[in-house]
Each structure stands twice: as structure tokens, then as C-alpha cells.
Structure 1
């Protein structure tokens, strides 16, 4: 740990919600840059299971940046991962344009290369699927911690020969998606499709997420401006707005969806504006 940052580390009597740290193989320059950018304490080289004075860590190791719960017995890190794991399997064995998110955007109805604005990108999984199917995707993620995770995941995937062509169609934007959508509508620079997947409150035990995602929800919180986001999306989208929701959850307050596509645990509310081009 550098001496410049050691003085900013919390004392052992302080419990902080989130800090930056790294393994011996984690990039120190990146760690210190994150600490400064996000105004978070930098703990230097640590083992997450040994940390007692932080609840969670933005932790850099040889696998990149992850959001890691501290302490013994904590679940594994949450990363934006496109090369391996679930997204790697999905890239190789996915269902093409028949996947629910692809149907929601309308890829079964058009061969045109659509510009999709993912206004609530999160860890970028749906955006990556759409990019792998030929869409040009602009991603917005307003939470600075999640934005950092997503930027790291995209950078790592860009170095992979199989993922690089898809990553080239994905652009991570800074700032508020509501502001961008509002300006796009005013300047007639509409996106073809706007995709929304707002965080929603979990109200019953059946909806609880996996343990490793609970810290993610704690950092991100719920999107309490979903109505404003939907309004801005409808004003900016050229062809449709697609909103991902829990299967039994109510629609976002506002106009009724024109149609719905249901899966096992989630559904997509579709707000059509005009017919998609055939090609």
C-alpha cells in the first residue's frame, strides 16, 4: 500500500460500507485511481476474509474488479463478466433471436441493425446479448460503483478474440440516461429501441436474490424514478420501449403496455410506437 493512501485508510474501530482493496496481483494504479474517483478509502493489499472494518470491497485481483463482501464465509465476488461463466456459456450456446430479451427488442421482426439504448445497464448482460445479435448498444449506468464494474468487464472482454466484435458494438456512456433520453427526444436523435430493467423492491421471500447479489442490491438500491424513466424513454424511442419486470409485478405507472412476453421468473412489457423496419 502506498504511503500516500495509508493515511486515508479507516481505523480498526470504524466500520465503513465500502472500500477499495486489491490482491497482490491486482493493479495498484487502477485501485488507487478508483479510490480517488469514487472517494472511497483504499486499504491496499488485503485478504477479503480478514477485513473487519469494511462491509464490502471493490476488490481488484488477477480476474479483474469485483464487488466482494468482507469477512469470513462471505459469498464470492460480483463481476461484470462476459468471457467466462454464465455469459460465456450463453454466448456459445444461446438461443439467438429467440431469446426473450431479443424478442422483447424486436429482433425476430427485423434484420435492421438497431440502435438500442440500455438505460439501466447494471452489469451489462442483456446489452451483451443484444450486441452479440448485431445491435449497436449504448449503455447507461448511473451508480458509480456498478459503472466501474461494468467498465472493467467491458475492457477485459475487449481483449478476448471471441468477445471483441460484440464489445465493439457496446458504448458505455457517462451521465444520466434520463437526461440523455430527454435531450435525444428534443434533438430528434432518437434511439430505435429503449430497454429498461429497473431495480425493484423485493417484498416476499420467494423473490430473494442469491447471496452474492445481496451486496449488489445494497449498493445499488431501488429505482424510485421508474415512471420518469419510462416517460423519457417513450419520448425518445423510435420504434418501441421494452421493460423487464418480475413476472408477477405490476407494470410501471403510466400507459399500459401494448403486449407482454412472459418467461419463468420475469416478463417484458412492450410499448410499441411504430412498426419495426423489415431490413
Structure 2
């Protein structure tokens, strides 16, 4: 895999560090220095690329750029309570469980769960997305509010299905596996909606980086693997989506737009 990286000259050392980290994951980074990375520059270079500027490391395409930006989540973290966050109640994060987030995304759910006390293993297999998460993690370590939260998060570069399978073969267990498949299948009987609100910029760029047609896991295999290692598996779904792997959950927490399906393994 080859990837273009636009960067401003003052961040050359950071780019060299990123280049080394990606090379270890089989990615050839092609750094190109530019005078200034502005909105106009991004519009004139719409191809998928990495960008390093005063905001840190970002993914860019179609005139937009995005990053996990964990520091931007501080407001939500401070406002969140056990009563307002279904995901916390579903995972029992306030009981400090060992938890694997097997569908890392931008890591925002893991950050919230860690805030409530969960010890999170954040697993991601795509080298570009993993490197973006690393950058967010490193920045968060220097933030006084986030530092004790991210201390409970471990980043793991691995295929989640392989990672869960290896844990099972080693007879290792965790309290919770959390799944939030990127491309949730919807109920075949659900009426098609009129044009939905535009997907958030972050998700638009993630969909370009991780296109569904390239075999991105819808989560069925992960659910099977998760059952073997977790006392509780929690799956985030759109409210009207079909059950993951067509398995009916043992319990549900229902919201207006989404739900959390829980599967309990009493044998572990």
C-alpha cells in the first residue's frame, strides 16, 4: 500500500516518525512538503491522503480532512452520566470491566467507556486508521483531563477476528466485547427513507478509506468469535437493523436512533 502525505515544513520530524511507523505495517508513505495546507489546497487535491499540519495528523479527501480528535470529546465526557449513556449501562463500564472494542472506528466509544472505568483494548487492523488513533492517543496523553482516561486504553494493531480467536485458543477471557459494525445491515422490511441527513464528515472519509465492497466485516464473524472469550457481548445497532448474525440478544437497551443488543455467556 502506498499513501500520499502532505505536510508543512515545520512538521518534518513528525512526518518522518509517522513514515517509520507505517513502514513497519507495510505502508509506503510518500511525503510531500507544501507551503500551507488550507481549504483551497485540499479542494485542489481531492484524492485520499494524509495531512500533517498544526492540527496534527489527519485523513483528507474531497476537500475535507478529519481525525479522531479525542480532545474534542472532552465536553461530552464531562457531561456524560450513567443515566444519559446507554452504552455505559449496557457494558457495565462503571464496574471497571476488562473490555475489547473490536471495531475501533475513531475510538470515541472506547474513550467514553474508559472514562467510566473500563480497561479497554482498542483493536484496529487498518494501518492508516491505526496510525490516526495512535496520534490521537499521543496527543491525549499530554492533556490533563484525558491523561488518566487514556491510561486505561491499550491500542492493539490486529485483525479483530484473529485477535479474538487467539485469545480463545489461549483460553483467555474478558468481561466484555463491544461491537459497532461500520456498515450495519438494516431490516429487510424497513421502509426506505427519503434522503438521509448527510453522513458526518468523519464517517464520509472513513467510508472512503474502508469501502464496504472491499470486504469490510459487517460483524457476523466477530460476534461468533466474541462469544468464545467474553462474559458479555454488546452490539450497537441502528434501532431497526436486523440482529447481528441473525442472533436474538438476551437483553436490549433501546434509544430513539440506536439500540444496544447484549449477549450473556454464563459458562465463562
TM-score bucket of the superposed structures, by smaller chain? 0.7 to 0.9
Matches within 5 A, 1:123-202: 123-200=106-183
Q: Are 2:75 and 1:82 aligned?
A: no
**Deviations 1:18-56 (Å, cap 9, x if unpaired)?**
521113443332354366452243222253533645512
Residue number in structure 2 paired with 1:235? 228
> Secondary structure at 2:196's aligned position in 1?
helix
* Structure 1: segments with no counterpart, 5+ residues: 1-16
Contact 2:184 2:218 in 1 (8 A): no
Cα distance in 1 between the residues matched to 2:51 and 2:266:
45
Matches within 5 A, 1:54-93: 55-70=47-62, 74-75=63-64, 77-83=65-71, 85=72, 87-93=73-79
> Secondary structure at 2:247's aligned position in 1?
coil
Cα distance in 1 between the residues matched to 2:122 and 2:31:
28
The structure 2 residue matched to 1:33, chosen from 20, 26, 38, is 20
Instruction: Note closer, same or farther for the CA distance 1:143–1:94 as it changes in structure 2 (3 Å cut).
Output: same
> Secondary structure at 2:163's aligned position in 1?
helix
Q: Are 2:247 and 1:255 aligned?
A: yes
Contact 1:18 1:58 in 2 (8 A): yes
* Structure 2: segments with no counterpart, 5+ residues: 186-191
The alignment covers a number of residue pairs equal to 251
Q: CA deviation at 1:142?
A: 1.1
Contact 1:247 1:264 in 2 (8 A): yes
Contact 1:246 1:266 in 2 (8 A): yes
Residue number in structure 2 paired with 1:215? 205
**Deviations 1:154-195 (Å, cap 9, x if unpaired)?**
010011111111111100012111112112122221111000
TM-score of the superposition, structure 1-length normalised? 0.80
Q: Are 2:261 and 1:274 aligned?
A: no
Instruction: Note closer, same or farther for the CA distance 1:173–1:34 as it changes in structure 2 (3 Å cut).
Output: closer
Contact 1:116 1:137 in 2 (8 A): yes
TM-score of the superposition, structure 2-length normalised? 0.83
Q: CA deviation at 1:58?
A: 1.0
Higher mean displacement: 25-34 or 60-69:
25-34
Cα distance in 2 between the residues matched to 1:79 and 1:254:
33
Q: CA deviation at 1:135?
A: 0.7
RMSD between aligned residues: 2.6
Cα distance in 1 between the residues matched to 2:197 and 2:252:
20
Matches within 5 A, 1:102-121: 102-107=88-93, 112-121=95-104
Cα distance in 2 between the residues matched to 1:18 and 1:231:
33
